[in-house]
Amino acid sequence: MRGRFLKRKTGAVLALLLAGQTAFGASYTYASEFVNSKTVKEIKLSKSATFKEITYKSASANQDIFMLETKWGQPHTTVKVGVPNPISSLMTVSKRAKLDNRPGHYVVGAVNASFFRSNDKYGYAPTGVLSQNNEIVNYGVVTGDSTSPMNVAVGFGIGADGEPIIDYTRPSLSFSFGGKTLPLYSMNSVRESEAGILYTKDNKLASSGTNEWGTEVIITNTSKDPAEIGFGDTITGTVSEITRLSQKADRSIPKGGMIVSFAGGDFSKQLAGLKPGDKVSVSANIEQKWKDAEFILGSGPMLVRNGKVEISMSSNDYLVKDRAPRTVVAYDKDNKKLFFIVNDGRSSASKGSSLPAMANYLISLGADYAMNLDGGGSSAMVARPYGAYEPVLMNTPSDGVERAVSSILEVVNTAPAGNTAMLVLGEAPALEVGMSGAVPLKYALDENYNRLNLTSSQLNWTVEGGVGIMQGNVFYAKKEGKGALVATHGGAVARIPVTVTNSVPSHTKVLPLDSFNSLANWSTIGARSKVTLSGDSYLAREGSAAKVSYDFTNSGGETAAAYLDAKQAIPVKGNPHSLGVWVHNDGSGHWLRGQIVDAAGKAQTIDFTEQGGMTWKGWKYADVKLSSDLAYPIKVKQLYFAETNAAKHNKGTIYFDKLQAVYDAGYAEPLFTDLEKASWAKESILKLTGQNIISGYPNGKFGPNDKITRLQAATMISKQMGLETKNVVNPGFKDVSPSTYGYGTIAAVAKVGAMSGFPDGRFGPDETLSRGEMASIIQRAYELKGQTSKSFTDVKQSFWAYGSIQTVLANGITSGYEDGTFRPLNPITRAEFSSMLDRYIN
C-alpha cells in the first residue's frame, strides 16, 4: 500500500525494542481463530518448495490461508527479491514474477513485499531499505510515528552465509569532509527540511530536483560509481561545484558522480568551509549480519522474535488491531523452513486477521521470526500450478483484482531440466466400438517439478483390458468393456481408465445403410464411360433400386468404370464384420468394388468381387469382409464396377439395392424378401434354392403362397432328377410345341412318366396344380412304395389319387393339415410343393 506521511524517527523506540522491552503496551495474547483446518490444495513447486491453500472455520471467522513453504538449505530452490525497474515503477505480482521467469530461473511462487510510497516527481518507491547483492537499490525511510509500520526499521533478507534473516536494521548514510561527518537521511528521494540526502544517477532522473533552500554539493572523480554503492562502501570523490543557500539548485547529476544535498541553515553553516576541489566521501553502513547479504528488504512491523509475539508499532493502531488481508514472511528456529503467507480478508469467505492473531498463528506453525509485509488490497500470492510454465494468481485480492505493487519476494527453482518423473493425462475420449480418439497429455514434469516439452505422441502407449489398440497417441476402440490406457516415458507412468461402449447392441446382426428408395444423396461418375442413374421399382427387391446404365464401348481400350458416388459419405456405426449390397447383374463379368473413408479421413478401396467376378445374372448378394485394422468408424463413399479388359467393354444396366453393415460373422443374408410369409417352409425353400432346383422371381421375391403351375412343377422335378431337356422327343400334347416356353422340360418329365397330360390331350403348362395332382406326380416320379393305416378324413378310397396320397403319407412327405384333412382339390402353393419335394430329397 502507499505509505503514510513519513517523518524521521528519534530512535528512542528502537532502543527500547532492542533492549527486549514492550514499547507499546502489554504483551499480545490473542486466542487463535485459526482452527478446524482443511488443506484444499497442495502443489509441489520444487523438491523443497510447496504451495498450500488451507481453510479454517471458527465461530468468529472463516479464514483462507495461502502458503509458500520452503525447506531451506536444499539445492536448486532459493528466495530472491523482485526489484522494480525502474525503482519508481509499480507492477502486479503476477506480471513481475512472469518477467523474471525463465528456464533455469523458474519463479514458482511470489508475494507482494514492501510498502511503497509516492515520491513526488520520483514516482513510487519502496518505503523500506532494498538492497540486492549488497548494492543499495533503495535506501528507504524510517518514521518517527509509532502508528506507522515503518517506525522501526525491520528487514528480511538472505545473509552472506545463505541463511534467512528477519530482524531490526540500522542502515546509515553519511557525508564526510575535512574531518567532519554529517548524516544523510536517504537516497534519491525528496529532500526534507533539516536533512541531507544522496542523489545518484541510478534514480533515472537527470537532476536532483531540489529548491534553493539548501546547500548542494556536486561530486565527481569518484572511486566507485555511486549508483552501485553498497553497505560497507565508502566512495571518495572531488567537489566540482557547490550551490549555496538561496542559489539555484536542481543540478544535473554527473555521470559516474553524485550529489549530496542538505536543507536548512544549520547545515549551510557546517558546510561553509567546503569548496570545489576538496576531497569528500560518502559511506553506507549497516550491522555486520546484514553486510554482503544476497538481498535485504525492509518492511514492518516485526511480528515474532525469538519465538514470541513482538509487534514493533502501537497496538492501538487500526493497522494492528483491525481485521485485514495480510502478507507475512517467517522462518522456524532451526532455519529449516521459510514461509510466505497471504491471508485473504474483507469477505465472508475469509475475514482477514489482526496482526496479533497472525503473529500467534505463525508461532503455531513453528515461526521463530516473522515480519509483516505490505497487506490490505496489495496482498497477492502467485504459484506455478502443475504443468504450467508461469505462476498464476492463487488468492483473491480484496480489490477484486491484483493491485500494482513495488517489490516482490520470489521462490525460485533453479534446477535444470531433468528426467521425466510425472505424466498427467487428460480424460480418455468416450468411444464406441469402432471409433477412435486422441489421448491428450496435460503435462509432463521432471523430478524437479519443471514442465517438460513433451507431446502425447512422444509417449509409449499400451492398452489394458483388451478393449482396443493405440497407434501413436490415438486410441482405437475395438471391444466393448472397461480397460486402461497406459503411457510411459522415462521412469514415469500414467494410467487413465477407459470405457468402450457399443452403439450397436451385441445382439445386432445387421444395420441398413441405404435402401436406395431415394437417390438424392447419390450421383454417378464415369471413367471413360457414359453413366446415368435412375430409380427402378419394378426389379427392386424392396421399394426402389438404383438403376445404373452404363456404356463402356468408347473407352479407347483403357480401363472403364461406372461410379455410384455418395454426395455425403454414409456413416457406419461401430465395427462391422462386413459390408453387403444386393446387385442385379447383367452377367458381363466386370469387377465390383467400393470406396470407404476411415476415421482419419483416408479413402480405402474394398472389393466385393475379384477382378472379373461379376458373372451372375439377376440378383445376388455381394459382400466384403472388412479389415480389423481399419480406423473406425468408417463411412461408405462409393460403389462401382470397373473393367480393365477392352474385350469386355460393353454397355448394359446394373441395379443396386439394400446396402447394409453386418456385425455377425455367421450372418446369412436371406435370398428372398418374403419367406416370413411361410416361415414353416423357409428351410426347405433355401435347401432347394441352394441345390438350384427352385428359384425366385426377378425382383427378389419367392412368392411362397403363390399357386404353382404345372410347368413350374415340371421344372423343379426335372432339375431335381437331372433330366436332359435338349434333343427331346415330342411328348405329343396338343397344347405344347417346340416353340412353347418350357418345351424341353415338359417333354423330359413326360418321357420318364413323372407327369402326364389331361384326358383331352392337353398338358396345361400354365394351369395350377392341385395337392392331389402333386401327390400323384411325386409318387410316380420317384416310384414311391408303401402304405399306411392312417388316412385323411376328406380323401375317400374312390378318389382318383387316393393311392398316391396314401403313399406320400406313408413316406412322410406330407402330413396334411392339423384338422386331419388333406384338401386334395386345393391348389398347391410354391411353399407346399417345396416342402414336399424337400422331404423326399432330404
Task: Provide the CATH number for the domain formed by 420-501 in this structure.
Answer: 2.60.40.3460
For residue 357, the surrounding DSSP H or E stretch is: helix 355-364
**Res 801 pLDDT > 50:** yes
> CA 165 to CA 840: how far, in whole Å?
109
**Cell triple for 267:** 547545515
In which region does residue 690 sit, left (phi positive, over 0), alpha (psi from -120 to 50) or beta (all else)? alpha
Task: Please tell me whether residue 92 adopts helix, strand or coil conformation.
Answer: coil
Whether the upstream peptide bond of residue 226 has omega within 30° of 0, thus cis, is no
The confidence score (pLDDT) of residue 24 equals: 32
Residues 6+ apart with CB under 8 A from 358: 303, 326, 328, 343, 372
572 burial type by CB count under 10 A (0-12 exposed, 13-18 middle, 19+ buried): buried
Residue range 9-42, pLDDT digits in tens: 333 333 333 333 333 333 433 446 799 999 999 9
Whether the upstream peptide bond of residue 633 has omega within 30° of 0, thus cis, is yes
> For residue 200, how many C-alpha atoms fall within 13 Å in the half-sphere facing its CB?
20
Kind of pairing between the strands at 186-187 and 196-200: parallel
Average pLDDT over residues 444-464: 94
The answer to whether the CB of 535 falls within 8 A of the CB of 545 is yes
> CA 526 to CA 52: how far, in whole Å?
70
The confidence score (pLDDT) of residue 4 equals: 38
Residue range 49-90, pLDDT digits in tens: 999 999 999 888 999 999 999 999 899 999 999 998 888 899
Percent pLDDT > 90 in the chain is 68
Residue among 334, 495, 505 nearest 427 (CA):
495
Average pLDDT over residues 398-403: 95
Residue range 127-156, pLDDT digits in tens: 899 999 999 999 987 766 777 888 889 999
Average pLDDT over residues 200-208: 79
> CA 689 to CA 217: how far, in whole Å?
121
Task: Please tell me whether residue 560 adopts helix, strand or coil conformation.
Answer: strand
Q: At what angle do helices 771-781 and 710-721 cross, to 10 degrees?
A: 20
Count other C-beta atoms under 10 Å from residue 99's C-beta: 13
Least confident of 28-42, 198-212, 222-236, 383-397: 28-42
The confidence score (pLDDT) of residue 30 equals: 41
For residue 798, the surrounding DSSP H or E stretch is: none
Residue range 729-780, pLDDT digits in tens: 899 999 999 999 999 999 998 898 888 888 899 999 999 999 988 888 888 8
Task: Please tell me whether residue 279 adopts helix, strand or coil conformation.
Answer: strand
Residue range 163-199, pLDDT digits in tens: 999 999 999 999 999 999 999 999 988 888 899 999 9
Whether the upstream peptide bond of residue 397 has omega within 30° of 0, thus cis, is no
Residue among 732, 585, 720 nearest 650 (CA):
585
Residue 358 carries which DSSP code?
Answer: H
171 burial type by CB count under 10 A (0-12 exposed, 13-18 middle, 19+ buried): buried
Say which amino acid occupies 198. L
> CA 189 to CA 299: how far, in whole Å?
17
The answer to whether the CB of 596 falls within 8 A of the CB of 606 is yes
Direct distance between the N- and C-terminal alpha carbons of the chain, in angstroms, rounded to an integer: 103
Task: Please tell me whether residue 512 adopts helix, strand or coil conformation.
Answer: strand
The confidence score (pLDDT) of residue 1 equals: 47
The confidence score (pLDDT) of residue 2 equals: 39
Residues in a beta bridge with 460: 488
Residue among 258, 138, 264, 128 nearest 191 (CA):
264
Strand locations in 414-540 (E): 420-425, 431-432, 436-438, 441-446, 460-464, 468-471, 474-477, 481-489, 492-501, 510-514, 522-527, 530-536
Distance of CA 585 to the CA centre of its chain: 50
Residue among 60, 79, 247, 50 nearest 163 (CA):
79
Residue range 511-546, pLDDT digits in tens: 999 999 999 999 999 999 999 999 999 999 989 999
**Cell triple for 620:** 445376388
Domain assignments of the chain as residue spans, ordered by start: 12-117+144-168+291-413, 172-285, 420-501, 510-662, 677-841
The confidence score (pLDDT) of residue 203 equals: 61
**Cell triple for 43:** 502443489
Least confident of 16-20, 234-238, 642-646, 670-674: 16-20
> CA 237 to CA 223: how far, in whole Å?
6
Say which amino acid occupies 507. H
Question: Cell 417345396 belongs to which residue?
Answer: 834
Count other C-beta atoms under 10 Å from residue 724's C-beta: 11
Strand order in the sheet with 492-501: 431-432, 492-501, 481-489, 460-464
> CA 547 to CA 652: how far, in whole Å?
10
C-alpha distances (whole Å) from 405 to each of 166, 301, 643 are 21, 18, 80
Kind of pairing between the strands at 492-501 and 431-432: parallel
Cite the DSSP H helix spans in 155-234: none
Question: Which pairs with CB-CB distance under 8 Å and at least 24 residues apart come from 395-400?
Answer: 395/64, 395/66, 395/342, 395/344, 396/64, 396/344, 396/347, 396/349, 396/350, 397/325, 397/344, 398/325, 398/344, 398/345, 398/346, 398/347, 398/352
Residues in a beta bridge with 252: 207
The confidence score (pLDDT) of residue 671 equals: 87
Task: Tell whether pTM > 0.85.
Answer: no
> CA 188 to CA 227: how far, in whole Å?
10
Residues 6+ apart with CB under 8 A from 593: 605, 606, 607, 608, 609, 639, 640, 641, 642
CA-angle at 415, arms to 409 and 418, nearest 5°: 145
Question: Cell 480424460 belongs to which residue?
Answer: 427
C-alpha distances (whole Å) from 403 to each of 85, 350, 375, 378, 383 are 17, 18, 11, 5, 17
The confidence score (pLDDT) of residue 366 equals: 95
The confidence score (pLDDT) of residue 7 equals: 39
The confidence score (pLDDT) of residue 204 equals: 66
Percent pLDDT > 70 in the chain is 95
The confidence score (pLDDT) of residue 425 equals: 95
Residue 46 backbone dihedrals phi, psi, to 5 degrees:
-160, -175
Residue among 375, 363, 373 nearest 304 (CA):
363
Distance of CA 614 to the CA centre of its chain: 48
Whether the upstream peptide bond of residue 698 has omega within 30° of 0, thus cis, is no
**Cell triple for 445:** 514434469
The answer to whether the CB of 243 falls within 8 A of the CB of 215 is yes
> CA 259 to CA 667: how far, in whole Å?
100
> CA 475 to CA 470: how far, in whole Å?
5
> CA 203 to CA 258: how far, in whole Å?
11
| Average pLDDT score, the chain | 90
The confidence score (pLDDT) of residue 120 equals: 58
Which CATH superfamily is 510-662 part of? Answer: Galactose-binding domain-like (2.60.120.260)
Residues 6+ apart with CB under 8 A from 102: none
The answer to whether the CB of 173 falls within 8 A of the CB of 139 is yes
742 burial type by CB count under 10 A (0-12 exposed, 13-18 middle, 19+ buried): buried
